[in-house]
Amino acid sequence: MKIQDSPATHLTYCLNIHPGESWAENFAAIRDKAVRVRNLVGPDGEFGLGLRLGNQAACELLDPARRKELKTFLSDNALYVFTVNAFPYGQFHQTAVKEDVYAPDWRSPQRLQYTQAVAKILADLLPAHVQGSISTAPGSYKPWIQSRQDEEAMVRNLVLACFALFDIRHTTGKRIELAIEPEPDCYIESTGELIDFLTGPLKGYAQRFMVQQHQVGDEFRDGIWEHLGACLDTAHAAVLFEDPMESLRRLRQARIHVSKVQVSSALRLQPRGRALEKLRTFAEGVYLHQVKARRSDGTIVSYADLPQALAAASDGADDEWRVHFHVPLFFDSFEDLHSTSDLLTPAFFAEACQASRNLEIETYTFDVLPADLRPADVTDSIANEYRWVLDQMGV
């Protein structure tokens, strides 16, 4: 849904909250879930969608007949697509995902081919005069990157993905940006690391690679950088003890496109007593739930997953924990557990609407929330998140 005219800004929710890897399952989620969310939220005009396409669904949706069927459905139901989550390549629900969510990473030709397929699909679906985005993995999982060669392989494939987006813009007029999404414990985990990656020495390597492989002129070489930017996930930033509004400002000051803002919140707590006992109910086997612990001297200690943090916990050692577990935006507290949604103030949303054309609610953990925190119906939960965001924005 368009929430602002100048500059034109669109809000959606990410359909990765709905399980499904095939296009048939994805289409059923649009038909049975997204349409109901639209009806509950009740906006005037068209309702935007944020697709989640894994590799299987993307390959199936390359079929022109399937895309034609989808476009007819979108038109008949006042829906439009302006962003795609192309971070998880493979299965994302109902199995142990953990660090496999980062594979194949940006060193791999499979990641490049998958992203190019998603770009082709989005270019066909994207309405004219609407800026699109594709959110993607932050390079790799940090422990997997061991050498300069690993870094250069990631850069080469990202450059080739940007070439595809550059070509799409020049052949169709559709502007799509590839949005790198920092995440705790990944190769790019913080706002600072993303700025360094996009503006530092590796950009020089990318420029040399373009000249060597494609013999392109300055206009083409400079133009592809218009298609590479940031996806700021506000839960990820908060887990790193960043202020999401300050993260937006830093990206803009560095002249990095904020291609997409994923509006989300994470758990926070003082790790002692009853809070730790309640936190144990969030330890589950599907996703990684990285933990960052801040101590009294300001140092940050990292735990790769929630079970490791719980095993190492001792009352009083840490002042605060931030846990990478997305909780609904309207969630305030669960006994001694709290959320980082208090960082998403009206001032933050004003900044976000100036920084980015694409905003997306992203709470994919509905099915793994503890039972006493999970609303009865996922569409009611999503609609409540919309209402929370629109209230914060004064819309």
User: Which region among 148-157, 343-352, 379-388 has the lowest average model confidence (pLDDT)?
Assistant: 148-157
Position 158 confidence tier, pLDDT thresholds 50, 70, 90: very high
82 domain-assigned: yes
Comparing 46-55, 327-336, 343-352, which segment has the lowest mean pLDDT?
327-336
Three-state DSSP string of 141-189? EHHHCCCHHHHHHHHHHHHHHHHHHHHHHHHHCCCEEEEECCCCCECCC
Alpha-carbon separation of residue 249 from 42, 138, 242 (angstroms): 32, 20, 12
Q: Is residue 216 over pLDDT 60?
A: no
CA distance linking residue 220 with residue 216, whole number of Å: 6
pLDDT tens digits for range 227-255: 999 999 999 999 999 999 999 999 999 99
| pLDDT (0 to 100) of residue 225 | 75
Does pLDDT of 349 surpass 70? yes
pLDDT band at 201 (very low <50, low <70, confident <90, very high): low
Strands 2-5, 337-339: pairing is: unpaired
Count up the domains in the chain and report the number.
1
Q: Which of 190, 185, 174 is nearest to 230 (CA)?
A: 190
Q: Which domain, by its residues, includes 55?
A: 2-270+326-393
pLDDT (tens digit per residue) in 79-108: 999 999 999 999 999 899 999 999 999 999
What strands, in cross-sheet order, belong to the sheet with 358-361?
A: 2-5, 8-13, 358-361, 258-263, 228-233, 176-180, 132-136, 79-85, 47-52
Q: For residue 241, how far is the Cα from the chain centroid?
A: 18
Helix 201-214 vs helix 191-199: angle between axes, to the nearest 10 degrees? 40
Which contiguous run of DSSP H or E holds residue 267?
strand 265-269
Distance of CA 303 to the CA centre of its chain: 21
In this predicted structure, the answer to whether residue 112 has a pLDDT above a threshold of 80 is yes
Mean pLDDT of the chain: 93
353: in domain: yes
**Could you give the CA distance from residue 124 to residue 174 in angstroms, rounded to a whole number?**
9
Q: What is the pTM of this model?
A: 0.96
| Residue 276 belongs to some domain of the structure | no
User: Bigger pLDDT: 83 or 207?
Assistant: 83
Overall average pLDDT of the 275-285 stretch = 95
CATH code for the domain of 54? 3.20.20.150
Under 8 Å CB-to-CB from 332, ≥6 apart: which residues?
338, 339, 341
- In one-letter notation, the amino acid at residue 7 is P
Note whether residue 229 is domain-resident. yes
Token pair for residue 196? 């360094």
In the prediction, which pLDDT does 199 show? 86
Cα–Cα distance, 345 to 393 (Å, whole number):
8
Q: What is the pLDDT of residues 3-23, one digit of tens each?
A: 888 889 999 999 999 999 999
Contacts of 97 (CB under 8 A, 6+ apart): 88, 91, 286, 287, 288
If phi > 0 it is left, if psi is from -120 to 50 it is alpha, else beta; for residue 284 that is beta
Q: Averaged over 193-205, what is the pLDDT?
A: 82
The pLDDT-based confidence of 217 (bands split at 50, 70, 90) is low
Domain for residue 286, yes or no? no
